[in-house]
Structure 1
Amino acid sequence: MQYRSLFASALLAACGLVQAQDLVILPAPTEAWKVTVGHWEAQAELKGDGVVAPAPKADYARASHAGASAHVTAGSRDALTFEWRDLWQSMLRVESRSPLDLRPFAGGALEFDLHVAELDKGGLSVKVGCGSGCARAVNLITPARASAGKGWQHLALSMSCFVREGADFSAVTLPFALEGTGSGQVSVANVRIVRDARPGLACPDYRTESVTPAMLNESWAIDWWKPRHEQKLQEKRQLLEAGTPPEIVFIGDSITQGWEKGGRAVWDRHFAPLHGLALGFGGDRTENALWRLQHGEIDGIAPKAVVLMIGTNNTGHRAENPETTAAGIKRLLDEIRQRLPRSQVLLLAVFPRGEKPDDFLRGINRRVNKIIEGYADGRNVHFLDIGPALLQPDGTLSREVMPDLLHPNEHGYDIWQRAMAPTLQRLLNKAP
């Protein structure tokens, strides 16, 4: 590994990519870096002036697009343009042909010039690798949208933005990448990693992100997330004005929001008679649910029971350390107990995801569940893991229960209700 890192450094120096104290990614000779563009299903390498990745096979994405082009002068790529359309995930990756040792840059910054041609219906993140199976992205949607139509803008991010526990910068093959959601077109130039720290954009601290209240700032959520929050406040007011305050409240992410979609028939049979309030928001991580609770969603009510199930987006979007996700869940429990001191809280284990028992993200969720099980006190907070009821005897997850191996269908919500019913009924009877 040391030999390969030295070889990579020599190659970069020979190509003129190590200048003074900087690692120069653009401009660079066309052969210096491997540049690919694509999405979750397929990628294509940029070898000439432009390339388009094959479209995903799913019907809903067959008309989508992910492409890249290069501005080349005298055999050197001066700038890259990344264009994507109707994709929930797309990426432009600049990869080293041999592992790089980025430890000398740990106290420095990533700098680049960004030109945003279109981003009103999309989002943008920048990512840097941090070892085998490790990469961290920083959301750029706010500064990127603000710079649209304003020409080239210089951005800088501290390299600390890409550090997390277990990061290994001694052998990095992904020194720079852009990730897009929705639709957009951006160009980058003058990309470099410098050794000295520079003033730059702020980024979340991965150690406290899950416990720091925040609105969901994703391209696919901006238009509906805050209005849905306002809608839920109005729904709560209507229940109170009708003299039918909610006896049960569900708090969570898209899986909880699904009670209003695929689980509607099950909800109408079992929870509508309790004037249930479903506070599930697609894409929410723990910090987003915390923001909602602190902005009135459970104020002024006293339900007999609260069902909390959240965390799979912390692990899925950020591959977060289980202890960090668990800390976010603990913070939510504290907020619920503070605002609803007389309610019984049923804390559900994060549902299994992925088809097989050894699925990477399912494994993280299992580790989260082992921690949060200890939050139950047997008096006001109770833990229940209904995961086994959702799985086949061999531990696999069936698409007949979760068609996308994450979100239940009506059959899955029926299993959820039946598996939870004995415990939930006991808590409803126990509450004052």
Structure 2
Amino acid sequence: MGRSVSGQENVLREASRAAPRNLLFTRDFGLVWLSQLISQVGDGISNLALLWFVYSITGSPVKTTIIGLLHTIPPIVLGPLIGVYVDRLPKKFFLVGSNTLRALLIGIIPCAIPTDLFTVDMLYGLVLLDAVAMAVFSPALTSSIPLIVPRSQFTAANALIQSTTSLGIIFGPAVSGVGISMFGSQEVLCLNALTYFLAAVCLGFIRLRSLHASSATEQAPGSAWQDFVDGVMFLVKKQRVILLLIMAAACYGFGASALTTLFPVFAKKLLGLGPVEVGFLWSVLGIGLLLMSIVLLRFTEWNLSERTRIIAAAGVTNAVAISALVWTKDLYFVSFLMVVIGAGMGVFTPIAWGVVQELTPAPMVGRILGLYSTGAMVAAISGISTFGWVTEHFGETTGVSSIGATFLLTATFGALLSRSIRSR
């Protein structure tokens, strides 16, 4: 990267002197966080604009949901392969390149096509390519954290990155709605290209610590297939704790994805709420997620066993809160429950990523995260399908209660993880 070893060491030295809450004021992590905030708001803007465009053109809920489906295909099909190449190539290339590509796909290209020629099929193609760029970016970002943040602050860094997702949920759709009403959905997509370009510029200035030249991966790269096999063998033979974590992530994704997808149905049928109230509760869920991201800063230096025990506690809390939705129609109490649920859902990812980052050698983090993401995404789609069927055939009460039960199972996995780590 054209930098001296001492200069590379300054990347971590600067961050190590900062308290967890001050990570945002270090140069490199601050730029990462700012870029994520910009792009997550951009995601909130583009997601609503994409859905609105398709529905306004087709009037079909099924064709509208294809947007969500297209976003899930690349992580499932390409996740493990993407992880291999994230480990083999410079991570900064993926970080900057994916945001630049997204600006072109979801911004510049829609601008270049006349409105009367911009069809839904064209948009589907652009969304699929955009999903590939997103699938590349996520493991590249997460595997870059150990290169700019000291080990004791991994969970804090992951929590702060998660906070940008919450802020994107809170502000992105609101900005998009105003923009659609003033200019139209295609125009909003064009203007939103600026957010991804700005995110790419921020990431262009970060300094990533180089991996040690003595690592086995750098000495003998081998084939991509061999790298993939090495990653699988690492999980099966050397770090079965991470394999157990992936099972916990699959269980969590199985329930959480179903809850967020089917919540409008539950709110309408069980609580008798309209779209305004549902939108309000969705924002409240994002607030709970944001609050937990802030709370986790206090626990970043706990050992792995203690942090995974938080996953168990959050799973039990979420199970109780979700089940309580069946027994109340009071909007204020439901709002409180949604804050609790959002906070509980905000526990898993920062801690889980921290476990992977701490227990995996730096040259292998990308492919392990690729396997992790693939398992979680497959479980998420399965959960949506399963609980959609359960709700349709057995009613909303059964659907909500069953989702609550999956969080109890997640809590069990969290307890097993804590015990496995403690006994290592």
Bin for the TM-score computed over the shorter chain: under 0.3
More strand by share: 1
More helix by share: 2
Return the TM-score normalized by structure 1.
0.25
Higher relative contact order (CA 8 A, sep 6+): 2
Return the TM-score normalized by structure 2.
0.25
